Amino acid sequence: MALLLRALLVLALALGGHQAHAGQACLVMPEEAGAFSEAAEAMGAELRSAGHRVQTFPGPLRAEDAATLNACALIITLGARTAQGIAALAPRSLILHTLLPRSTYERLPLRPEDARRVSAIFIDQPASRQIELLRIALPEWQRVTLLVGPESLDMGQRLQLAARDRRLRPALAQISDESELYPTLQRTLGEPGILLAVPDSTVYNNRTISNILLTAYHQRSPVVGFSPAYVKAGALLALYSTPAQVGQQAGEAGRLGLATGTLPPPAAPRHFRISTNPYVARSLGIQLEDPGTLRERLERSEAGQ
């Protein structure tokens, strides 16, 4: 897929001529840039390498920004809130949403005719990749607990299906309020199993994560997270893409869109990293390969599918 995208990009640049160098890309940032700045830098570098002008818009967006944004050939949003803000303004430019969950993108007001003009690079990993990592890293564990909230039910169901396809035993539990978290967690981890965390602020947030990790540890259940911060806090391992990795992929998609007038379809992050916590692994009696080996095995598995 990566080679195909690059081949299409080279062809489009060759055929597009002056059009490929004429577009202005506008990066719409959230109010608190934080790690988004790393992604924006990678996007800007990729777009500028093709001769495009890049302008940054700090949030929050205002109604009067609509005219300026309409003058942009390509708008790239960073984060869920900026995506929602741009969707409300409804500019007619090419729009590439980045660093937002797939579920958030699917709730944006999109029309059928927007399919070739609006696209996304999601922040969440594909379900098949997450489950394949469990199979590779923890082959002796068959039970997978999926604790989801309103934001992540669709993702939980995709993970449940992917786990069943890999002959694992998934247990999906949904909560609607934070007060339901610990009774549900203790019930679902009554039999030890992998707790696969998913991005959902109702379940996993700064108030809950320490107690979730502690509860899982007491139940002898390893936690697999979605950011390196989870590993530092006590998760066994995490699968994630860095802002720079997503930014480069978005820059490549943006270049293709500016060259052809059509953005590639919405996609999960192409590149990823894995972090591990050897101290937690030893405490739980788990033999865990190093992050580089796990990533290489997962990449080979995906390439062979």
Strands 273-276 and 237-240: antiparallel
154, 103: one domain: no
Question: What is the distance between the alpha carbons of residues 269 and 302, in angstroms, rounded to a whole number?
Answer: 13
Together in a domain, 60 and 206: no
- DSSP annotation of 114 reads G
- Residues 226, 208, single domain; the answer is yes
Instruction: Please report whether residue 18 resides in a domain.
Output: yes
CA dihedral of residues 288, 292, 297, 303 (deg, nearest 10): 150
Judged by phi (left if over 0) then psi (alpha if -120 to 50, else beta), residue 55 lies in beta
Longest dimension (CA), the chain: 63
**Placement of tokens 């599918």 in the chain:** 305
**Amino acid letter for position 116:** R
How far apart are the C-alpha atoms of 52 and 290, rounded to whole Å?
40
Q: Structurally, how many domains does the chain consist of?
A: 2
Per DSSP, the chain holds a count of helices (H) and strands (E) of 13, 11
Tell me whether residue 110 is in a domain.
Answer: yes
Same-domain pairing of 135 and 113: no
In a domain, 287, yes or no: yes
Residue 267 domain-assigned? Answer: no
If we measure between CA atoms, which residue out of 232, 152, 165 comes closest to residue 196?
152
Q: How many CA atoms lie within 13 A of 236 on its CB side?
A: 25
In eight-state DSSP terms, residue 27 is E
Q: How far is CA 304 from CA 176, 249, 300, 301, in A?
A: 39, 22, 6, 5
Host domain of residue 157 = 127-239+273-304
d(CA 212, CA 217): 9
- In this structure, the answer to whether residues 234 and 86 fall within a common structural domain is no
Residues 65 and 187 in one domain: no
Cross-strand bridge partners of residue 26: 55, 75
Domain assignment present for 214: yes
Antiparallel, parallel or unpaired: β 169-174 and 194-196: unpaired
Same domain for 10 and 99, yes or no, is yes
Mean pLDDT per 10-residue section of the chain, whose length is 305 residues: 44 38 82 86 96 89 81 94 90 94 90 86 96 97 95 94 96 92 91 94 91 94 96 97 97 96 96 97 96 97 84
Cis peptide before 222 (omega within 30 of 0): no
**Is residue 88 domain-shared with residue 232, that is, in the same domain?**
no
Same domain for 289 and 166? yes
- Check the CA dihedral 79-85-88-94 and report its sign: negative
Which residues, 6 or more positions from 80, have their beta carbon under 8 angstroms from its beta carbon? 100, 101, 104
CATH number of the domain where residue 230 is located: 3.40.50.2300
Among the listed residues 239, 240, 257, the one whose alpha carbon sits nearest the alpha carbon of residue 46: 257
Q: What is the pLDDT of residue 244?
A: 95
Looking at the structure, tell me whether residues 251 and 291 fall in a common domain: no
Q: Are residues 71 and 182 in the same domain?
A: no
Q: Are 236 and 276 in contact (CB under 8 A)?
A: yes
Do the domain assignments include residue 265? Answer: no
In this structure, are 246 and 156 located in the same domain? no
Predicted pLDDT at 6 = 45
Nearest of 301, 275, 273 to residue 289 by alpha carbon: 275
Q: What is the pLDDT of residue 254?
A: 97
Residue 157 lies in a domain: yes
pLDDT the model gives residue 305: 65
